[in-house]
Structure 1
Amino acid sequence: MTLLEDAVNGKITDEMKVVAQKEGLDPEYIRRGIANGRIVIPTSPYRDVKLCGIGEGLSTKVNASIGSSSDISNIGLEVEKAKAAEEAGADTLMELGTGGDFLEVRKEVVDNTSLSVGSVPLYQAFIEAAQKRGSITDMTEDDLFKATEEQAKLGTNFMAIHTGVNNITLDRLKKHGRYGGLCSRGGAFMSTWMLYNEKENPLYSEFDYLLEILKEHEVVLSMGNGMRAGAVHDATDRAQIQELIINTELAEQAQNEGVQVIVEGPGHVPMDEIETNVKLMKSMSGNRPFYMLGPLVTDVAPGQDHIVTSIGASASSAAGCDFLCYVTPAEHLALPNVDDVREGVKASKIAAHVGDMVKLGKRDNDLDMARARCNLDWEKMYSLAIDSQTARTIRNDRAPEDEDACTMCGDFCALKIVNQHYDLAK
């Protein structure tokens, strides 16, 4: 029995109890959410993981993506990045390696983190085809499903699978065109293979078989967003919406077969279209957990795209998005290093909190911080900070003579002046 089947049959499992305790909710709420497809809990029969729930009524979760490339491949570096992401507060990890011995990289990453780990098995299938047969167009359907099963057996908890890249979607893409091209690597791989071989996407045509593999190994299906926009001017276009239609139909089938499902969303979206995208995704999918890849709200800030993303991610979470994929300062420029990973996670964690203040009305920590600041209680402020270490380091580096104040205000701290003369505390 899968976790979803247990939920449908009325059973509250240990995983549901753990998530309920973390979220401060009734376990029955979690069970019902899983049963109706509005909550998922990534887990695995092959390893213990730090459980987190993703979906309706739960705090917004943050994913950190790492992985080698054809230019830079270092197993130790990827393990270090995985550990840095977990220490910085990431809720899940995606291992997306495409260079060097990427199978060994994935194994080492999985073995060195307690987080749920996601992957894109399509990458492995296409890259191995290129290495063994000379071209990505020489991949076979068997290669694709073999890679999926291999990665599941490593203890992968969720997989981005590009089921919605089918012939209908490609027709929409070709007819309408794109300013920013096709930025999804999975979408590029699969569409090229389909056009060259004049075949339908096996992940779509053989979806029943795919579900058998995912169900056997208790893998959450994340409906890949192969048609996502790589430029804000391409957001919410016909190809993206066509893929969404396909993915939401398949998500319903997967749910009925006992496989937990997440629906992925676009990557570059202007601010005024974010709420529309979230509500459209939620409405069409029956309020399934929605995984937003970013989003980036402008295309002109390379080197600062973690900030660009935090702006879009805050709006996405506030509108109802459940799961955010971080972006690092290296986005569009280079393979992220360890510091980039940390900064990306921190920015998205802040965005998730800001969104939850609206979506869930969770503002108690902000109220506690206000009181701590009013009382000039620095240790309390550090304990409440999302990134307490950085806050403490900055203050200590520029330590004031007056331990109550800070070096920005010095002798003329507004709070200290007011506290000396009258009491405004609530």
Structure 2
Amino acid sequence: MNFTTQMNAAKQGLITKEMQIVAAKEKMEVTRLRELVAEGKIVIPANKNHTSLSPEGVGDGLRTKINVNLGVSKDCCDLALELEKAKSAVALKAEAIMDLSCYGKTQKFRRLLIDTCPVMIGTVPMYDAVGALDKELKDITVDEFFQVVETHAADGVDFMTIHCGLNRATAEKVKRNKRLTNLVSRGGSLLFAWMELNGQENPFYEHYDRLLDICAQYDVTISLGDACRPGSINDSTDAAQIEELIVLGELTKRAWAKDVQVMIEGPGHMALNEIAGNMMLQKRLCHGAPFYVLGPLVTDIAPGYDHITSAIGGAIAAANGANFLCYVTPAEHLKLPDLNDMKEGIIAARIAAHAADIAKGLPGAREWDNKMSAARADIDFPKMIELAIDPDKARTYREESAPESEDTCTMCGKMCAMKNMKKILNGESICIK
């Protein structure tokens, strides 16, 4: 088959091996999947150089996917630990890993991830620019920015977050409309600073076609970053956020014209009552492109518990059209997450994603829940543990508090509703003293 990207193949009416794999995973007709890829409503991030990939689809009609962030910083530079996190993330059924390393020479770790991980790999090249080039931000040239992007693409990265929508007009909007938390996007704030220090336009906006050519060459899905995502519920749905979203919609069409796959990134921090409206705005302004959200976190007061604030918002967002959830850990806003933080974040995000899939009426989404309910009705604790989203935790809880009778738990004992109803409906007597 002769094609440049998954979207290019789909537009030609070709069905790629990646489409076949995704269709089988999703129980979707492959011809329908191909149509949605051609329309840009589904993406299959699959860099030609990521040979270990087991492809996944992100978009309408598919299971809500989750992403795990990891990577080293200057204060926590333990590559072995980050690799262990990556292996755990795959075992915990995350569909994507983003390497957000922002210190030192990161290519060795990035290549190791790509060579060994079957899940989608994403990066933010802007994070890597200072370390990879060994230069101060102000002194990095436009060509050097694109050099870093092409290096990531050649290494096999499946999707890249690039903040193309933060042009000088949007930056002025940020300055004129004071926020409580300014810009909290790391990549976005670095680009904002570069633009201010050099008095130049965002290179990824000004030379967007050059970026698209790189993405098309390697079939990198561009994840159009939200530099103006709200970092507090006070700043959500403001002028800067909406201005950038309009620009991202325009950039989406330009990418599709070059057969480059696109995802759109979204908030952030946002009150519950604004989430559904924001999802509708994104889908409308960005022409149905898949939406990738960080959270949204529905309150700002819960450091140490932001996996919960994020899961609440993520479930609502995905139920209203978001397709891809970026996990948030209990360590958010406080430190680099450890292995346990990562696990807590993954499980919370998976719960949110599954709850949303039920709400969206995704075929088969309720089957897992119905199996669990049947096991509970049968008082089959081994089966309940097997079906649990986190079997290890369920097993530990069961083992650390042993009941008098194996067909009860220490919460209800002989008053167990499941046990007693089953006996009574079978015509048996019960004894609860």
Please give the per-residue CA displacement for 1:16-68, whole angstroms capped at 9, x wherever unaligned.
11111111110011101100000001112112202111000001000000011
State the match for 2:223 in structure 1. Answer: 222
Moved more, 218-227 or 372-381: 372-381
Contact 2:104–2:131 (8 Å) recurs in 1 = no
Rounded to whole Å, the distance in 2 between the matches of 1:258 and 1:368 is 42
Q: State yes or no: 1:263 paired with 2:264.
A: yes
Please give the per-residue CA displacement for 1:164-189, whole angstroms capped at 9, x wherever unaligned.
01011011101111101210111110
Please give the per-residue CA displacement for 1:198-227, whole angstroms capped at 9, x wherever unaligned.
100110010011001111011000001111
What is the Cα deviation at residue 121 of structure 1? 0.7
Contact 1:71–1:99 (8 Å) recurs in 2 = no
Pairing partner for 1:44 from 37, 42, 47: 47
Q: Structure 1 pair 423/367, CA: closer, same or farther in 2 (3 Å)?
A: farther
Q: Which runs of 5+ in 2 are unaligned?
A: 428-433
Describe the SS at the equivalent of 1:192. helix
State the match for 1:399 in structure 2. Answer: 402
Q: Which runs of 5+ in 1 are unaligned?
A: none
Q: State yes or no: 1:164 paired with 2:165.
A: yes
Rounded to whole Å, the distance in 1 between the matches of 2:177 and 2:298 is 22
Q: State yes or no: 1:212 paired with 2:213.
A: yes
Q: Structure 1 pair 275/423, CA: closer, same or farther in 2 (3 Å)?
A: farther
What is the Cα deviation at residue 128 of structure 1? 4.2
Q: State yes or no: 1:31 paired with 2:18.
A: no
* Partner AA of 2:76 in structure 1: I
State the match for 2:431 in structure 1. Answer: none
Runs of 4+ in 1 over 6 A off after TM superposition: none
Matches within 5 A, 1:81-230: 81-128=85-132, 131-132=134-135, 135-230=136-231
Q: State yes or no: 1:381 paired with 2:387.
A: no
Contact 1:221–1:262 (8 Å) recurs in 2 = yes
Contact 1:59–1:360 (8 Å) recurs in 2 = no
Contact 1:4–1:260 (8 Å) recurs in 2 = yes
Rounded to whole Å, the distance in 2 between the matches of 1:349 and 1:414 is 29
* Partner AA of 1:88 in structure 2: L
* Partner AA of 2:86 in structure 1: A
Please give the per-residue CA displacement for 1:371-422, whole angstroms capped at 9, x wherever unaligned.
2111112232223221122112211222223111111111221111111111
Rounded to whole Å, the distance in 2 between the matches of 1:197 and 1:304 is 39
Rounded to whole Å, the distance in 1 between the matches of 2:138 and 2:340 is 36
What is the Cα deviation at residue 233 of structure 1? 0.4
Matches within 5 A, 1:280-291: 280-291=281-292
Rounded to whole Å, the distance in 2 between the matches of 1:337 and 1:10 is 45
Contact 1:75–1:108 (8 Å) recurs in 2 = no
Pairing partner for 1:19 from 8, 18, 22: 22
Q: Kindly tell me the number of residue pairs found equivalent between the two proteins.
A: 421
Rounded to whole Å, the distance in 2 between the matches of 1:357 and 1:344 is 20
Rounded to whole Å, the distance in 2 between the matches of 1:401 and 1:7 is 60
Q: State yes or no: 1:370 paired with 2:365.
A: no
State the match for 1:78 in structure 2. Answer: 82
TM-score under structure 1 length normalisation: 0.96
What is the Cα deviation at residue 103 of structure 1? 2.4
State the match for 2:70 in structure 1. Answer: 66
Describe the SS at the equivalent of 2:337. coil
TM-score under structure 2 length normalisation: 0.95
Describe the SS at the equivalent of 2:263. strand
Contact 2:52–2:116 (8 Å) recurs in 1 = no
Contact 1:78–1:109 (8 Å) recurs in 2 = no
Rounded to whole Å, the distance in 2 between the matches of 1:245 and 1:396 is 54
Describe the SS at the equivalent of 2:389. coil
What is the Cα deviation at residue 110 of structure 1? 2.4
State the match for 2:430 in structure 1. Answer: none
